[in-house]
Structure formats: structure tokens, C-alpha cells
Structure 1
């Protein structure tokens, strides 16, 4: 049974086996959660991402996929990078967003991770509505078969935390 909790705060401060990064397809850092993880984790994460780009992911990581690197200076063993979809009012991309959570848990299982911290994937600059993003995140984790015992959603601000808390009570 996976315990699911919500925390308001900075994902880079979490002490867990794996921190999930809402990455862009280049894997080379960016803004928001991605930039924060790369800054706090240090150059080891970027070096590992460059190595991935040079080997298996020459064209970048696809939307809904996940891959792990060492966590550098973070209080975690690994960073699991996943690329969320950009929200669209005209195309349902919910399956891609759900895949981010499912694939991240699959990678966590492969690594033997027991605790994982997730951000609210795609709800920042990618524009996914928080309420719906929370619904998809929580439903997907609840429905996933995983050995991860502790899933923590780390929400950056009060608005995101409130949206996920509403959805968690459903």
C-alpha cells in the first residue's frame, strides 16, 4: 500500500530516495522545478543528463516518458526526469500527463526507491489547470501498481496545495 501525502514547500529540500523533475525534453535544465533541481543538485545532474542525450536520448526525452540520473547534491539518491505535456483546450492530453506519474513510478521501482517526491507536473509554465492536474496525479498514483511506499506531492505554494488537498479528499 502506497501512502500519499501532500507537502507545501520546496521539492529540492525533500529527503527521499527519488525526486521527480518536471523536465523539458532537452533534459538540460530550464525554469521552475527543473531549474531549481539543477541549481541545487549541482553540475552532476547536468553532466548525467548530457550523457543521456549523448547515448539513448539524442533527440530528447519524449512527453510522458521518465528517466533517472544521480541526484548530485540533493538530499535524494536519484532524480527522475519526466516531460509533461503542454495543456491544450482543444486536445485531451490527460493520458500523457498520467503517463508522467506512471512512468516515474516504474523507474522508481526499477531503482528500488521506497520514497518519491513529485511536483505538480505541467501545472506551471505548461499551463495545466491545477485542479485537473491534481486529479490526474492523485488518481494515477492511487491506481498504479508500485513498490514505492511513500509518495509525497510537494506543492510550491498555497494555491497548488489547496487544489491537491481538495482532490485528495474526493
Structure 2
């Protein structure tokens, strides 16, 4: 099953997969880090799609995810997943982060997507400790794909050396 998960270092907007996950903020209107990079690469169509969702449901709460078109990014869709802000670990951050990954995987599977790429959700501006977040991500995905045929392949896309090393070590232990 671990052959269904991999890690690469690079730009998530350039990965050849069916769907990418955006580490979004609750407003879905773009921001810094991976969120800003995805909105920039996708162009105005992505922002317009997010505005439609905001009008329908308002903010997207931590742990939840929504799906939109991908604009100029050559994938079939973007899943906008809102991870938790780190408050020291006593405010259900681990459960919310696990829910964020599960809900993203559910959206990918429900839409028939075979391949998905995840960034390191909540580890940037939201301050989640990288090692703890990576362990939750890998464990959640491993359990999920062990029970379901889709997605067939999950790629963790890391922006920096530290996260890449952490994910490589975790995947090597499977």
C-alpha cells in the first residue's frame, strides 16, 4: 500500500495529477504560501469559483474541504482544504487536521479522481509543528487508501527540504 504514496519536493501547481489540494484559509479568497501560489497560478477563474462557494455557504471551517475548477493549472480540479491553526495541541488540532485530509480524500474519490497531490497542510502560517502534521497526514492517507480503491496514487508535495526529509522518513517506515 505504501507504493500508492510518494513524496516530491517542488511546486504543487506543476505536479501531474488529477487534482491538487490547496491549503486554504476559511475565506477561500487566497492568501500566502501554497494558497497564494495556487491562486496566482490558476488565475481569476479560481477566485471566481471560490466566490461562488462563499456566496453559497460562507466561510469554510477548519477540517472541511470544497472543490472547484482549476483555472489555468493543468489538473481537473482544486480541493480547498482548511486545516487548523496550531494553538498548542489542546484545541482538537490533531482531529481537525485528520478530518481535513479525510474530507479531501473523500472529495477526490467521490469525483473519480485517481491521483491527488497534497501540500503540508497547516504547517506554514498556521504554525502546526511539521513532524506532527506530517505524521497525521501520512497515517490518515495510509489508513484511507488501505480501505478504498480511490485515489490510486497520493503525492505529498513539499516546498522545502525539511518537510521533504520528514515525509521521506515517514514513508520509509511503512
Superposition TM-score, scaled by structure 1 size: 0.95
Report what 1:33 is aligned to: 34
Report what 1:13 is aligned to: 14
Q: 1:53 to 1:160 in 2, by over 3 A?
A: same
Report what 2:79 is aligned to: 80
Instruction: Give structure 1 stretches of 5+ with no counterpart.
Output: none
What aligned pairs does 1:128-139 form with structure 2 within 5 A after superposition? 128-139=128-139
Displacement of 1:66: 0.8
SS in 2 for 1:148: coil
Instruction: Give structure 2 stretches of 5+ with no counterpart.
Output: none
Displacement of 1:166: 1.7
Displacement of 1:106: 0.2
Report what 1:140 is aligned to: 140
Report what 1:127 is aligned to: 127
Report what 1:152 is aligned to: 155
2:63 aligned with 1:64: yes
For 1:31 and 1:71, locate their aligned partners in 2 and report how far apart those are by CA, in whole Å. Answer: 18
Displacement of 1:119: 0.2
TM superposition outliers: structure 1 runs of 4+ over 4 Å: none
SS in 1 for 2:142: helix
Q: How many residues align?
A: 168
Larger fraction in helix: 2
Displacement of 1:169: 2.2
SS in 1 for 2:72: coil
Report what 2:4 is aligned to: 3
SS in 2 for 1:29: coil
Q: Deviations over 1:11-51 (max 9, x none)?
A: 01112110000000001111101000000011111000000
